[in-house]
Amino acid sequence: MGPMRAIVNTAADPARVPPPSTEAGAFHAGMAGYRPTPVHDLPAVAGELGLGGVGLKDESNRLGLPAFKVLGASWAVERALRERPDVRTLVAASAGNHGRAVAHVAALRGLDARIFLPGRSTPGRREAIAGEGAEVVVVDGAYEDAVAAAAEAAAQPDAIEIADIGDSGPARWVIDGYHTLFAEAAAQTPHDLVLVPVGCGSLAAAAARYGAATGAAVVGVEPVTAACLSASIAAGEPTAVETPGTTMAGLDCAEISTSAWPTLRQGMHGMITVSDAETHAAMRSLAGQRLEIGDCGAATLAALEALATEDECEDLRRAVGMGTETRVLLVATEGASDPEGYRRIVSGPG
């Protein structure tokens, strides 16, 4: 039996969620090329689903990269170098976007980068990371095997791992760095409900902290084949799942990050799972509106359609108070980060 379509987190207690860190915002504002990413109004979606409004936070061009990950990576590197100015090599495990962000930041700061990728990473993602000047190491195994290999490589005296999973300083700083996205959104558009992709949970933890501080409800979105947070919330403790694969590469995670879990446990209102086919349909729908959004980003639109219309989601709809006045923020975390895969999907049968 697979994960349920939607679950309500009955243990949610936003009052116990730590406040978001605002320190990274000033740092990001000082980076060359920084500007807030746009929020696109989707009135046709809101009208079709009977909602007060739907906005899509478009992370397809964030500081010159096609994903939001550079917000966490840049802040984590800044904090790491403050503590260890002797570091010469940044090490990271990644499904694609985080590794590219770390490689990009390494180049900006005159550092080397070694990025470990799982065996099923696409050639396009590997080439994009190498194009940032990094050494790319493909591990014969899953994402979790790449994480183990990166941790081993980071034991060198002049290296440090910039992880977005685990309980290291960098993993916690990555969460802090992602708050910039939500601080921007708060200034751009009113919203009562946030739908956010989960993966290993760092961005979702930043969303949960933001939601707890502002009163917005937060719902996480996962592939049906990699629903580790859904399983963990259902079990009441971090729970690993089998991951047979998904085109949502950045969400293909078997385990939730230990640094993110306490916040997710208390701050997420619920979870929705989506299939690759549903996400591909959402990608094509967004492409029809001239929005180039990749698998992980489009997953939130697929999830919103399920949340608003399906009987299976009725309990979660009620828990987040969804109705005709609800204003929704969809976090679209990436653009065409795998250009060949993106073109294949959006040109496929609709």
Number of domains in the chain: 2
Last residue within a domain, chosen from 167, 200, 226:
167
Answer whether residue 327 is part of any domain: yes
How do residues 264-309 score in pLDDT, each as one tens digit?
A: 999 999 999 999 999 999 999 999 999 999 999 999 999 999 999 9
C-alpha dist (Å) from residue 237 to 2, 81, 223, 257: 18, 33, 19, 12
What is the pLDDT of the chain when averaged over all its residues? 95
Question: Given a cut of 70, is residue 344 above it in pLDDT?
Answer: yes
Q: Are residues 224 and 341 in the same domain?
A: yes
Q: Are residues 106 and 202 in the same domain?
A: no
Answer whether residue 177 is part of any domain: yes
How do residues 149-175 score in pLDDT, each as one tens digit?
A: 999 999 999 999 999 888 999 999 999
Q: Are residues 162 and 178 in the same domain?
A: no
Answer whether residue 156 is part of any domain: yes
Range(s) of the domain holding residue 221:
6-67+171-346
Answer whether residue 135 is part of any domain: yes
Q: Are residues 133 and 178 in the same domain?
A: no
Q: Are residues 55 and 77 in the same domain?
A: no
Answer whether residue 1 is part of any domain: no
Last residue within a domain, chosen from 113, 144, 167:
167
pLDDT band per the 50, 70, 90 thresholds, residue 348:
confident
Q: Are residues 119 and 21 in the same domain?
A: no
Last residue within a domain, chosen from 147, 167, 187:
167
Q: Are residues 47 and 74 in the same domain?
A: no
Report, as an integer, the average pLDDT of 131-149: 93
Q: Are residues 342 and 213 in the same domain?
A: yes
